[in-house]
Amino acid sequence: MLSIGTLAKRTGTKVQTIRYYEQIGLMPEPGRTTGGQRRYGTVELDRLAFIRHSRELGFSLEAIRELLDLSDSPERSCAQVDAVAQKQLHEVEARIARLETLRVELQRMINECNADRVADCRILEVLRDHEECLSDHIRPGG
């Protein structure tokens, strides 16, 4: 049986995050010692490693919850798991495309800046006026 601190170290997850996952139901309520300390076994260790790796791959907590629910029912179709992963892949590809657009725009701003004085700086000029940009790279919701 592992303490919460040992579980945190073994998975690279902060203690506060483990408690949060317990609060929102991603992690089951742990067993307790007679003194009230949390204790975890290999099942919880594996589940937390799954959650941690899924987060590293960018899955949302909602998607992780869905994946965990699916993994808890091994007789279900893997097509549902594939759909969740495909959705995540599309989101990653969209972020990559957006980052590529930002890279191109930043490079263009830098390349166009040959002024010696801040008053004539092309970078500052473009940052002041979005109309000077070649692409629409406004963040969703921002």
With cut-offs at 50, 70 and 90, classify the pLDDT of residue 66.
very high
**Given a cut of 90, is residue 118 above it in pLDDT?**
no
**Given a cut of 70, is residue 142 above it in pLDDT?**
no
Residue at 77: amino acid letter: S
Mean pLDDT within 111-122 = 80
| Sequence-distant (≥ 6) Cβ neighbours of residue 108 within 8 angstroms | 134
| Sequence-distant (≥ 6) Cβ neighbours of residue 133 within 8 angstroms | 105, 126
Cα dihedral sign, 95-98-100-102: negative
**Given a cut of 70, is residue 122 above it in pLDDT?**
yes
pLDDT in tens, 9-63: 999 999 999 999 999 999 999 989 889 899 999 999 999 999 999 999 999 999 9
Lowest mean pLDDT among 36-45, 62-71, 82-91, 125-134: 125-134
Mean pLDDT within 89-115 = 89
